[in-house]
Amino acid sequence: MTPPIVVSLPHRLGQAEAQRRIVEAFDKGRIEFGRLFSETEVSWRANHADLRVVALKQTVTAGVDVFEDSARIEVRLPWYFAPIQKKIVAVLTKRGESMLTRIAPPGR
């Protein structure tokens, strides 16, 4: 295993709305990228999610904590994915910031 990737994403949504958006993003991700993964698991306990994804016979695990003013993502990659670690950080940061800063549609 490589050292964990840790990404912190500040937001102004409150814990419930931020968590709702993250759950929605997980669901969209399964649809969009599901063909790339042989297994995906997401388990929520209150404001913490444990994730497990298997791709190319390699298991990636992550934890997500959602707080009132931020979200923290910690990803553990097997050595096989170490060469793309910086790209993974960039994608998590960009998509996370976009998801947590966009304006909610009316009625939400």
What is the topology classification, in CATH, of domain 5-97? TATA-Binding Protein (3.30.310)
Adjacent-strand bridge partners of 53: 40, 60
Is 75 within 8 Å of 4 (Cβ atoms)? yes
Residue 4 DSSP SS3: coil
Reply yes or no on whether the pLDDT at 86 is more than 80: yes
For residue 31, name the pLDDT band (cuts at 50, 70, 90). confident
pLDDT of residue 1: 72
Average pLDDT over residues 62-70: 97
C-alpha–C-alpha distance, residues 36 and 69, integer Å: 32
pLDDT of residue 14: 95
pTM score: 0.85
